[in-house]
Amino acid sequence: MQEQEQQTDTLRLSGDLSIPKGAKGLVLFAHGSGSSRHSPRNTAVARAFQQAGLGTFLIDLLTEDEETIDSRTRDLRFDIPMLAGRVAGAISWLKRREEARSLRVGLFGSSTGAAAALVAAARHPDEVAAVVSRGGRPDLADDHLAEVRAPTLLIVGERDEPVIRMNREAAGAMQCENELTIVPGASHLFEEPGTLDQVADLARDWFSRHLQNGSRDR
């Protein structure tokens, strides 16, 4: 794993890039509210992806100073256009790197990060080959949902009832290939035994299929 400092214009964001030999795709993680690239949930899912031959790029979408501000105001984590722009900037950064430029890119978003991933996918359809949302807030992507072309998997916990409703409505608004999967017994953070493993398996299979064979709804 390489700890990277990714620069978009004058902005520097920290990230962890890991690309196994013979990788069949690369997944960029857009974490959610109050989380970070060091989140145990994100790192556990990333390990499952790496074991399946997928590269991973876990980044912090906010700078350290912004994280400090957001911990008080909780505003920046909901600035979806800004976060989506940073996801897009991270994809561009990856495409300039020799070890990553040939790999198809998928986006794995959680909570508000899922909305940022969907907006980035809608704005850059040729750069994003698949999206997975874990306990996401796709409703915050608003009118961009209908513009997403990348196959999208929405994963929600059975006990996360308000978010289930939001995801069902989002799935109905999307015009691309999409699936909504509800994990039995899981709450919003998938902290119950075995539930995060199910998320990792579902997302791994989705990315393996769509990143490797290039399937995309156009």
Reported as a single tens digit per residue, the pLDDT across 186-208 is 999 999 999 999 999 999 999 99
pLDDT at 215 over 50: no
162 contacts: CB under 8 Å, gap ≥ 6: none
pLDDT at 6 over 60: no
DSSP, residue by residue, 108-126: EEETHHHHHHHHHHHH-TT
Mean pLDDT of the chain: 90
Contact 159, 139 (CB under 8 A): no
Per-residue pLDDT of 133-167, as tens digits, reads 999 999 999 899 999 999 999 999 999 999 999 99
Per-residue pLDDT of 23-66, as tens digits, reads 999 999 998 665 667 688 899 999 999 999 999 999 988 888 88
Enter the tokens of residue 136: 């996401």
Q: Categorize the per-residue pLDDT at 87 as very low, low, confident or very high, splitting at 50, 70 and 90.
A: very high
Enter the tokens of residue 66: 């912004």
pLDDT at 71 over 80: no
Measure the CA–CA gap between 24 and 208, rounded to whole angstroms.
7
Q: What is the pLDDT of residue 210?
A: 97
Q: Residues of the chain with pLDDT > 70: what percent?
A: 90
What does pTM read for this prediction? Answer: 0.90
Delimit the domains of the chain by residue range: 2-213
Q: Residues of the chain with pLDDT > 90: what percent?
A: 75
Sign of the Cα pseudo-torsion (218, 215, 151, 59, in order): negative
CATH for the 2-213 domain, from 2.40.30.60, 3.40.1110.10, 3.40.50.1820, 3.30.2270.10? 3.40.50.1820
